[in-house]
Structure 1
Amino acid sequence: MVNTKFRSAKIGKLKIVWSRKLPAAPSSVTVIKDSAHRYFLSFVVEIQPEILAQTDNSVGIDLGISTFATFSDGTKVNAPKPLKKRIKKLRKVKFVII
């Protein structure tokens, strides 16, 4: 992207750090300010949807805790190790209501 600054009448100039290239020219923009006083710009662009090839295959997915995901065809995906550690820690946590 060539432009690295955005100018708004109410805010003034903002430096832009692009997360990705826009697929088309923006038609509008939404400015959001978070609690850390950072601004985020959300652009609306109009694109042509990509038509995918027709297929008769479909798969259902069941998300769980011991098995991260189970597909309707029987395939099982185990949870990543960091997630397992967090679940163990959550089991040990005692909640105190004040």
Structure 2
Amino acid sequence: MSTSDRAVPARLTVSVTETGLNRHMNKRTATGGRPSKGQRKALMSRVAVPVGEKIEEQAAAAGYQYVGDYIASILAREAGMPELAPVQADRTRLELPIPAA
């Protein structure tokens, strides 16, 4: 049997509006969560494993939830712009436990 003799299934296209599925897909609006940190420039660097581990330890000791925020705060201070350093997480606010589904 050659490839031209094989039956090719027809392509099926289903519109979400035709199935009525979109009636349950309301547009999401921002109702809470963390406020935006504003415009950011992504920088990337790779460091030796011992350096990375030490930075992670220092970030945790300083109360940062994210190592990237700790690194950004160091860079902001070194650049002479400490007012642009990310703010540490509020330690008085606890994360609510959300059970896995």
Structure with the bigger RCO (C-alpha within 8 Å, sep 6+) is 2
- Which is greater in Rg? 2
The structure in which a higher percent of residues are helix is 2
What is the TM-score when the length of structure 1 is the normalising length?
0.20
The structure in which a higher percent of residues are strand is 1
What is the TM-score when the length of structure 2 is the normalising length?
0.20
